[in-house]
Amino acid sequence: MVLWVFGYGSLVWNPGFDFDEKIVGFIKHYKRVFDLGKWGTAYCIRGDIAREKAAMQYLERRECEYDQKTSVDFYKEEDNLKPAVTGVLVFTSIPDKKINKYYLGPASLDETARQIATASGPCGNNRDYLFLLEKAMFNIGHEDDYVIELANEVRKVLFLGSLLQWPYFAKLRMQDNKYYTSLNAFFAIFELTSVNVKRRERFMLK
């Protein structure tokens, strides 16, 4: 018996189950909730029904928000035409609120960032998940531009939240024009800083 499981979110940096082999690669024709990315890690469990069963039980509890288990082809970077592994298991969701209670529907970048900045779940807060995903994609050599953009937008939301606690800005709230002029100036500086930060240094911004 051989079981292959594809991880594209937290499974990339924290699989949580015993495995024999892992390889970096991608699948085709699927999307993340907030990402077009398809890169991730495939994990293999060989020749042990008990270990395979234990891994599946663990994954079904952990990935309970996904309503489908799908078998896909898995590709490695050096050959995007011939699958490196076939029949890889991946947990997926149907983007339909009526069918999947966890699906929130489409949202703009800033709406998504505000949700991620403040939301949390049984395993922690969503912003840490996003920052860890950003770093995991960097570590496997496949940074995702949208994940980076979203992570920076979340940092802006968090920055604004902390900024509003400063006594200087609390005082300026009584003087709307000066308040918003000062905020705009701060964000202009923040945008310029973000643009010039190298990707290898980005993870120091958290």
Tens of pLDDT along 2-20?
899 998 888 888 898 999 9
Asked if residue 43 and residue 130 are part of one domain, the reply reads: no
> Is 63 designated active site?
yes
Question: What is the reported pLDDT for 85?
Answer: 94
Least confident piece of the model among 53-62, 83-92, 166-175: 166-175
Contact 145, 21 (CB under 8 A): no
In this structure, are 67 and 2 located in the same domain? yes
Is 86 in the same domain as 183? no
Identify the active-site residue in 52, 63, 134, 143.
Answer: 63
Answer yes or no: do 99 and 111 share one domain: no
Is the pTM for the entire model greater than 0.75?
Answer: no
Domain limits for position 118: 107-206
Name the domain boundary from 105, 134, 150: 105
Residues 164/150, Cβ–Cβ less than 8 Å: no
Instruction: Give the whole-angstrom CA distance, residue 58 versus residue 39.
Output: 22
Quote the Cα angle for 201-205-206, to 5°: 130
Q: Answer yes or no: is pLDDT of 127 > 60.
A: yes
Q: What is the pLDDT of residue 75?
A: 93
How many other C-beta atoms lie within 10 A of the C-beta of residue 1?
10
Q: Sorting pLDDT into bands at 50, 70 and 90, what band is 196?
A: very low
pLDDT digits (tens, 9 = 90+) for 130-179: 899 889 989 988 888 888 889 999 998 888 766 555 555 555 554 454 44
Same domain, 203 and 119: yes
Which of 74, 105, 136 terminates a domain? The answer is 105
| Six token digits for residue 102 | 């966890």
Residues 122 and 192 in one domain: yes
Final residue before a domain boundary, out of 105, 138, 170? 105
Structurally, the chain folds into a number of domains equal to 2
